[in-house]
Amino acid sequence: MAIVDRPREVPIEEILSDLRPRIQATFARFRVPPQDAEDVLQQTLLTYLYKRESIQNTERWILGTLRNRCLLYWRDRRRRLYTAVDKALLESVAQSDGCPQERADLLRDLNVVLARLPSRCRNLLWLRYRQGYEPPEAARELGYKASSIYKVTERCLAALTKRMVACGLIEEGCDD
């Protein structure tokens, strides 16, 4: 049986040193804030450590995975913003013991923003948040597949969020 010589494994520090300018360019292109860039890189490198035996081109794999992680980073940030808006909607339209004038003002502002949305979004958000329908019930009522209602809801919340940011009702960078 012949012994196959494996190429010398290059230390990760050396790989990172060689890739540093391209890594920084990737973060700049995706506009990942410096405080979060290190976390994204660490996630990429941790995945690399688990999969390094099956990776044929280390540099290409790291850069490709880093790009994917940057996309996931922004997808997660948007989802957190939509979730924050989701919670805010639920709290604002729920009956509360708060000041009636504040509640009326908030509902008026929400209604103005909602009126600017496409009718399918208005109808979906009305059913979900004003009528208290669960996602499968809203899907049935509006003629959507139950499996697609979450995606449609997310898109409608995204549209609502953009309108709320444009009107100054919420700040763009808010996270829970």
Tokens of 3: 């012994």
Helix residue ranges per DSSP H, the chain: 12-30, 34-51, 58-93, 100-115, 119-125, 135-142, 149-167
Q: In a structure prediction context, what are the per-residue pLDDT tens digits for the chain, which is 176 residues long?
A: 444 444 557 788 998 899 999 999 999 999 999 999 999 999 999 999 899 888 889 999 999 999 999 988 888 777 676 666 666 665 555 545 567 776 677 778 778 888 889 999 989 988 887 788 888 899 999 999 988 888 888 888 888 888 877 877 666 554 43
Q: How far apart, in whole angstroms, are the C-alpha atoms of residue 42 and residue 19?
A: 14
Extents of the domains making up the chain = 12-78, 95-167
In the prediction, which pLDDT does 5 show? 44
What is the Cα gyration radius of the chain? 23
Query: Full-prediction pTM beyond 0.85?
Result: no
Class of domain 95-167: mainly alpha
From 166, 165, 138, 163, select the one nearest 150 (Cα to Cα): 138
* Whether the Cβ atoms of residue 160 and residue 113 lie closer than 8 Å to each other: yes
